[in-house]
Amino acid sequence: MAQKKKAIIVICPGGAYQWLSPRESEPIARAFEAMGYETSILRYTVQAEGDTEPLGLGPVRELSERVAQLRKTADGAPVFVCGFSAGGHLAATLGVHWKTLGLSRPDGLILCYPVITAEEGLCNAPSIQSIAGENQRDFFSLEKHVSADTPPTFLWHTAEDHSVPVENSLMFATALRRCGVPFEIHVYPFGEHGLSLATDEVTEYEKGRLPDAHVAGWIRECGDWIETVLARKR
């Protein structure tokens, strides 16, 4: 008799909706698989070089389709979506807009230094410009659209992140709290944007992305959170 799957995690790498980071793809999948979860990496559509037309709803529809496909073969296993930076924005977009767009609701969100807001001064401008037209900025400013229907969420960020300010995660967490959605958030004091696992495997010395044992604990904390969410569903 086949063992029932614990959960499936769809991984959305970052890259400002302009490319997909290898450091936030296979290494993340291997780490979750070592914890007993199945994974699926979503290589969603990104903006072609030189293209100025915003992507709009294309990537979130691709993510919803992947969640729906996995559910058909998951034998009842929950499906979480995990995103990094712009991939975190993609995951959170599905989390807040699934109902109004008629898309598939994930069972939980794992948001790693996510782009959340389109607010000037706090947004990651390249990501927002790649995904949102001028009249779509409010729609893609996700802290404004959290509701009681948003899935339980795990967030982590570093306070030193200059590319995507920590306020992005804090604003989303505040909105979750206001709507009564369960969440867990970890803010680490040090570290550049894009740390991925924060281990030797994903180090980029030239960009200041160094191993950090403290930050590297996020995936263990995330695994504990997933088990807590699953226990509540039983």
What residue spans define the domains of the chain? 8-233
Q: Give dist(CA 217, CA 222) in Å, integer.
A: 9
Region 144-166: mean pLDDT is: 98
Query: What pLDDT is attached to residue 50?
Result: 85
The CB density around residue 231, as the number of other CB atoms within 10 Å, is 8
Answer yes or no: is pLDDT of 210 > 80. yes
CA atoms of 129 and 17, how far apart (whole Å): 9
Summarize the chain as % helix, strand, coil (round to 5): 40, 15, 45
Residue 175 pLDDT > 90: yes
**Fold observed for domain 8-233:** Rossmann fold (3.40.50)
Distances (CA, A) of 40 to 9, 12, 26, 55, 199: 6, 9, 10, 22, 21
pLDDT of residue 2: 52
190-206: pLDDT as tens digits: 999 999 999 999 999 99
Q: Measured between alpha carbons, how far is 23 from 82 in angstroms, rounded to an integer?
A: 14
The predicted model scores a pTM of 0.97
Q: Which of 11-15, 49-53, 152-156 has the lowest mean pLDDT?
A: 49-53
Task: Give 84's strand partners.
Answer: 112
Q: How far is CA 62 from CA 5, 55, 93, 108, in A?
A: 23, 12, 12, 17
- Indicate if the alpha-carbon torsion angle 55, 89, 224, 197 is positive or negative: positive
Amino acid at 206: E
Share of the chain above pLDDT 70, in %: 98
Q: Name which residue leads in pLDDT, 19 or 50.
A: 19
Q: What is the mean pLDDT of residues 182-191?
A: 98
Residue 3: predicted pLDDT:
64
What's the pLDDT tens digit per position in 94-143?
A: 999 999 999 999 999 999 999 999 999 999 999 999 999 888 999 999 99
pLDDT of residue 74: 85
CA dist 44 and 20 (Å) reads 8
Confidence of residue 4 (pLDDT cuts 50, 70, 90): confident
Section 162-186 average pLDDT: 98
Neighbours of 45 (CB within 10 A): 12
Give mean pLDDT, residues 80-104: 98
Q: Would you say residue 76 has pLDDT above 90?
A: no
The interaxial angle of helices 58-73 and 86-101, nearest 10 deg, is 80
Select the more confidently predicted residue: 108 or 5: 108
pLDDT at 233: 79
Residues 13, 197, 157, CA angle at the centre, nearest 5°? 80
CA angle 27, 169, 95 (to 5 degrees): 75
Q: What is the DSSP letter of 122?
A: T
- Amino acid 1: pLDDT: 40
